[in-house]
Amino acid sequence: MGEHVGAELELEVSNVAHGGVFVTRHEGRVVFVADTLPGERVRARVVDDAHDRFWRADTIAVLTASPDRQEHVWAEAAVDRAPGERAGGAEFGHIRPGRQRELKRQVLEENLRRMAGVDRPVPVAALPGPEDGTGWRTRVRLHADEDGRVGPYAARSHRVVEVADLPLATEGIRAVAPLGHRLPGAQGVQLIHPSTGGARLLPAGEDAGEAITERVGEREFRLDAGGFWQVHVAAAATLSDAVSRAVDGQLFDPAAANLDLYGGVGLLAAAVGDRFGPSTRITSVESSPRATEHAHENLADWVGATAVTARVDRYLSRLAGSASKAERARLQRGTVVLDPPRSGAGKDVVRSLAALGPAQLIYVACDPVALARDLGALVRNGYEVTSLEGFDLFPNTHHVEAVAALVRT
């Protein structure tokens, strides 16, 4: 612990930074402060001074409030609680919803401009649901400490805090959440609320071999209860529509070697297939064998659709190194949809995509920095960004989803 940790500072907050914190300066040094917003004057306590270039601090009192500050949507995460007792997962809950989306837009645009050289507006759209951004989470993980107490982790820590409510969760999850109970010996619980079948509770890290059904429009998707699915109740439909719209129909070739990378149980491959018809050829690539099994079933309506269990980087590397001339031609006419994890696709995947040279890419991202890094590399390798949309899939948090379309120049 450094000599400044614990010191209290009065700070004028100037800007938003990636990661749900805000920027100010103290005696020339950058300080990243949580639980505030631009235009506020706060008293903050230093919690990390290990870096030469910046410190980190927690707001402990608001001296001059922004007009965009609101009563926190989650009482147990509010600034009037001690920082170590504030529940994590709602770090923007003290900011009115419209301002939250404006801040997310700013973070998206700044990172794209700085890292990718892409200078264009990226509006962030609200999803259907309550205006205050509550009631949307269909997946929640609660942890249990060594005494069996159940709750979320405190913000920026792995310490369990007990809470009386989960306002971001659906009503179904709130009804089955074991808040106030003890689970001795357990790691925690997963709470899921699929669009069919009602909310349920699973041991943390397990799915008990149970399959569930999620409905998106008129289509149903089977997946393991503990498997990945979009968390916001309206996210799957929103992203399916966004990806379908982002594909340039004049460049799309149903007979080409189209790919859905990090394909999960086939949600976005199905969105492409629904737009372009049952003869659409598309291969979903996913590292989880169970998800691939479900994708086979979920994509059965398209005679040219298939699902492959493979790591995306290795799959593309093999294609780039061994594809025949005819296969390369089909790949170059192809459309690639990719929805990587928060860390992004990364340099190996981008390098292989650039070598294969598909006609268009549809990149779905949940991290602005990873998106900007990968788009920058793709632009340097002969692609042009033709459209960008942002979506507020995670209200009352700093997270934001984006869908980018790129074409080969």
| Active site residues per annotation | 366
CA–CA separation, 299 vs 319, rounded Å? Answer: 22
Tokens of 356: 């294969």
User: Any binding-site annotation on 230?
Assistant: yes
User: Any binding-site annotation on 262?
Assistant: yes
User: Any binding-site annotation on 171?
Assistant: no
3-state secondary structure the chain: CCCCCCCEEEEECCEECCCCCEEEEECCEEEEEECCCCCCEEEEEEEECCCCCEEEEEEEEEEECCCCECCCCCHHHCCCCCHHHCECCCCCCCECHHHHHHHHHHHHHHHHHHHHCCCCCCCEECCCCCCCCCCCECEEEEEECCCCEEECEECCCCCECCCCCCCCECHHHHHHCCCCCECCCCCEEEEECCCCCCCEEEECCCCCCCEEEEEECCEEEEEECCCCCCCECCHHHHHHHHHHHHCCCCCCCCCCCEEEECCCCCHHHHHHHHHHCCCCEEEEEECCHHHHHHHHHHCCCCCEEEEEECCHHHHHHHHHHHCCHHHHHHHHCCEEEECCCCCCCHHHHHHHHHHHCCCEEEEEECCHHHHHHHHHHHHHCCEEEEEEEEECCCCCCCCCEEEEEEEEC
> N- to C-terminal Cα distance for the chain?
52
Cβ-contact 258, 280 below 8 angstroms: yes
Task: State residue 155 phi and psi, 5-degree precision.
Answer: -55, 135
Residue 148 identity? G
Cβ-contact 77, 34 below 8 angstroms: no
- Residue holding tokens 């960004």? 385
User: Any binding-site annotation on 315?
Assistant: no
Q: How far is CA 246 from CA 45, 124, 243, 284, 400, in A?
A: 45, 16, 5, 18, 18
Tokens of 364: 């779905």
Q: Which residues are annotated as a binding site for S-adenosyl-L-methionine?
A: 230, 262, 286, 339
Q: Which residues are annotated as a binding site?
A: 230, 262, 286, 339
